[in-house]
Amino acid sequence: MSEPQAVTLPPSLSEQTTEEVLIALAGQPNMGKSTLFNLLTGLHQHTGNWPGKTVERLEGSFPLNHRTIRLVDLPGTYSLTANSPEEVITREFILHEKPAVLLAIVSAANLERSLYLVSELIPLQVPMIVVLNMMDVASQEGIRIDAVSLERQLGIPVLPMVASRREGVKELLPMIEEVIEGKLCSSPNPPPVRGDHQEVLHQLVALISAFVPPVYPVDWVGLKLLEGDQEITHMMQTMLPQTTWRQVEEILKKHEDAYLAVVSGRYEWIAGMIRTVVSRSKIGQMGITERLDRWAAHPVWGLFILAGIMGIVFWLTFTLGTPLQGLMENWLILPLANGAAGALASSPMWVRGMIVDGLIGGVGSVLTFLPIIAIFFATFALLEDVGYMARAAYVMDNLMHHMGLHGKSFLPLFLGFGCNVPAIMGTRVIESWSARLLTILIAPLVPCTARMAVVAFIAPTFFGKNALWYSWGLVMVSLLTLVVSGVVLNRILFKGQRSAFIMEMPLYHIPNFRTIGVLVGQRSFSFVKKAGTTILAVSLLIWVFSYLPAGNLETSYLARFGQWLSPVGKIMGFDWKLTLALITSFPAKENAIATLGVIFGNSVGAGLANTLAATYTPATALSFLVVTMLFIPCAATVGVIKQETNSWKWTLVSIGLLLLISLFAGVVVYHLAVWIGA
């Protein structure tokens, strides 16, 4: 924005000057103070530093009838509580220099914050004019301010202005003159002191009034003592006789809560004023956000909307992703496997087996669901980019809180939809150890994208067009388990203790498809990288154990290990192959598919999906998916749980808890499905 040029003063105002009058500009940063200063003083300005401070001092002058106005631009401050050098400079200047007029620059677009400073300037008892700047910005944001009513409420002259367009600047000059000459009187209405503290203030004022230096208004000093202002407290301690100071100290000790009450009074004063002088029409993003959030962030409808959106995500994923996955399998992986088998026909059996079954069967199977993953990432990135994911986590947490669960788990849960590792690390924002521990224990129940990838591969294979509903149900089961576990653990760990957190959700945005593209690209690359590292390593290891000792899967070490575990798997409807797939999902969840790819590698010509559909019943598949969703998280997550809890005990509790929940759920779902006849 170009610097505005000095306003041309009317001839009558530019005459020979005699009397010098000091006026000051006060306001928060970025309220247009400097713009007005430049307009009034033009080139007649000089800069320096405030005595003993590194804060810049801007001073200028301009003629106004027979007067020369010396204008001081005070540093931008949010309040006058002596928290910063700027605040001290501002209040000390006003109190010691007593400007003939104090121009308080406030922003019409952010009147609430601006009025806080005004509430602190009024008790300094200097003549004021409130310059209501940025009226244009307020108007653009749908904010209308009744300046007349504001003037009445404040008891101070108010002048609307658009300093950047010089609107209202000429009107300010006669107003300044009238205030200097006492023609424009004001009777400011300072924020009231609450009834129960008024008596305390009177007592303080009575004790200190004879000792307050003349430049300080006695009531203001009394208020500052109540607020615990260190500078004023120190000053009065040196001014008062010891006996009086002890009395003051006793009163202050008795009313330690007074600071909150005094500040609270200011907020009440501002809120009352805003209610009467400001009207807003919600336009643009704000209006849309508010309208959408009436539903999306509603404690009940929000949950239905979340469930509906999850359904749409799966519908999109399956409708677009499954055919693409089939194409990849038929046109890329199968020809590659057949080609490799042909090319390696003369190679030793184990080389062919390792390449075709281990490498292509394992990693290849996982890579076929790259389209599914990419679409899943894209839909989630879209939801994240438009701002919906924050609402999803909010309504979930709201539900949990209604059930008596700790509210601080929001952030980790929010992150958990992407990956459980940052979810566990995200619990660092929680200070209370027990609350953090609870969140660490339940966070792995948030369905991460790797688990969703397994669901996205298996669900369409067994449930066809109904895959959408099964996947949706699996997510709901996970979230329900999370809530129930949270409630139960909360009762045990916190004895039902409640705490609060406040959040501000981002505005809804029109999605930026470039950003979504970058996000999908990054996440897909991470997935491919994982396929080329962890999944590749596990696939090869699985193949080695499926080959040794005699090159026969049914008599291999892998089969023996699987059969040893099969009694546990059997109660959930698994054979040893599925049990092994589950166990090998520990290094990375996608390994479940890779392992099945290796084990069924011999039938790779038929495609893994078809082979699985021909081998297992839907009841077994459903049980497998439920257990996968609730099973022990991946090794990286467990490692982070150990790192964050710094305890093997709690790491094992987490593993044990999830193992118990998943096995129980698997048994129930399998037998229920068999009973129904799935």
Partner 1 sequence: MLEAFLDRINRGGTLEVESLAREFDTTPEMVRMMLDQLQQMGRLKQYQACSDGCAGCSLQKGCHSAHPQESVKLWQL
| Residues within the interface to partner 1 (CB under 8 A) | 83, 110, 112-113, 116, 259-261, 263-264, 267-268, 270-271, 274-275, 278, 280, 290, 293, 297, 381, 384-385, 387, 390, 394, 397-398, 400-401, 407-408, 410-412, 414-415, 418-419, 421-422, 425-431, 498-507, 509, 512, 515, 518-519, 522-523, 526
Q: Give the CA-trace dihedral at 443, 446, 450, 454, to 10 degrees.
A: 130
Which residue, 311 or 506, has its beta carbon nearer to partner 1?
A: 506
Which residue, 211 or 267, has its beta carbon nearer to partner 1?
A: 267
Nearest Cα residue to 172 out of 137, 128, 119: 128
Which residue, 110 or 125, has its beta carbon nearer to partner 1?
A: 110
Which amino acid would we find at residue 513?
F
Pairing, β 143-145 against β 278-280: antiparallel
∠ CA 336-338-339, rounded to 5°: 60
- The CB-of-400 to partner 1 minimum distance in angstroms stands at 8
Which residue, 508 or 547, has its beta carbon nearer to partner 1?
A: 508
| Bridge partners, residue 101, by sequence | 23
Which residue, 312 or 403, has its beta carbon nearer to partner 1?
A: 403
Asked whether the beta carbons of 90 and 77 are under 8 A apart, the reply is: yes
- The CB-of-533 to partner 1 minimum distance in angstroms stands at 12
Asked whether the beta carbons of 396 and 612 are under 8 A apart, the reply is: no
- The CB-of-552 to partner 1 minimum distance in angstroms stands at 39
Cβ atoms within 10 Å of 585's Cβ, excluding its own: 26
Nearest Cα residue to 120 out of 224, 257, 226, 23: 224
What are the structure tokens assigned to 305, written together? 């909307």
Asked whether the beta carbons of 170 and 7 are under 8 A apart, the reply is: yes
Pairing, β 128-133 against β 101-107: parallel
Which residue, 21 or 640, has its beta carbon nearer to partner 1?
A: 640
Please name the helix (run of DSSP H) or strand (run of DSSP E) that holds residue 158, with its range, or none: strand 158-160
Asked whether the beta carbons of 564 and 428 are under 8 A apart, the reply is: no
- The CB-of-572 to partner 1 minimum distance in angstroms stands at 32
Which residue, 426 or 569, has its beta carbon nearer to partner 1?
A: 426
- The CB-of-110 to partner 1 minimum distance in angstroms stands at 7
- The CB-of-579 to partner 1 minimum distance in angstroms stands at 30
Which residue, 228 or 326, has its beta carbon nearer to partner 1?
A: 228
Asked whether the beta carbons of 232 and 224 are under 8 A apart, the reply is: yes
What are the structure tokens assigned to 64, written together? 């106004």
Which residue, 181 or 257, has its beta carbon nearer to partner 1?
A: 257
- The CB-of-58 to partner 1 minimum distance in angstroms stands at 27
Nearest Cα residue to 524 out of 316, 377, 348: 377
3-state DSSP call for residue 171? helix
644 φ, ψ (degrees, to nearest 5): -80, -30
- The CB-of-107 to partner 1 minimum distance in angstroms stands at 11
- The CB-of-375 to partner 1 minimum distance in angstroms stands at 16
Which residue, 91 or 406, has its beta carbon nearer to partner 1?
A: 406
- The CB-of-270 to partner 1 minimum distance in angstroms stands at 7
Listed in sequence order, the residues at least 6 apart from 97 whose beta carbon sits closer than 8 Å to its beta carbon are 22, 24, 72
3-state DSSP call for residue 273? helix
Give the number of residues written for the chain.
678
- The CB-of-430 to partner 1 minimum distance in angstroms stands at 8
Which residue, 302 or 607, has its beta carbon nearer to partner 1?
A: 302
Which residue, 423 or 578, has its beta carbon nearer to partner 1?
A: 423
Can you spell out the DSSP letters for 373-407? HHHHHHHHHHHHHHTHHHHHHHHHHHHHHHTT--G
- The CB-of-274 to partner 1 minimum distance in angstroms stands at 6
CA distance 588 to 454: 11
